[in-house]
Amino acid sequence: MKLVVAVVQDQDSNRLSNALTKNNYRATKLASTGGFLRSGNTTFLIGTDDSLIPRLLEIIRENCRSREQMVAPVSPMGGNADSYIPYPVEVEVGGAIVFVLPIEQFHHF
């Protein structure tokens, strides 16, 4: 048994939740910010058997890995026209930081 702590970007959080549920992993979610990843992010706590760790890491990587994404320009409604970019741009989104922690006892009441 291990406790997996995964910090993922908010935009990937629901997708990861659904994938975990579908694969019978149970997670607790904590709202978090900053630092490891661009804010905001979500911290998942997932308790799981050692034998299920490789598959869990695969699910996190599949749903949250850092990747390039084309972002459509937003027209500068009352904003700064100087910073308006009139064509789609590629930005980096996603990314996950994962810690696998040993545990000494696990209880379920």
Residue from 23, 35, 49, 69 in contact with a copy of itself (CB under 8 A): 35
At 41, list the tokens.
């992010």
One-letter identity of residue 31: A
How far is 40 from 11, CA to CA, in rounded Å?
A: 9
20 binds a copy of itself (CB under 8 A): yes
11 binds a copy of itself (CB under 8 A): no
At 40, list the tokens.
């905001």
Which lies closer to a copy of itself via its Cβ, residue 66 or residue 69? 66
Residue 47 carries which DSSP code? E
User: Which one of a copy of itself, Ni ion, none is in contact with 35 (Cβ closer than 5 to 8 A by kind)?
Assistant: a copy of itself
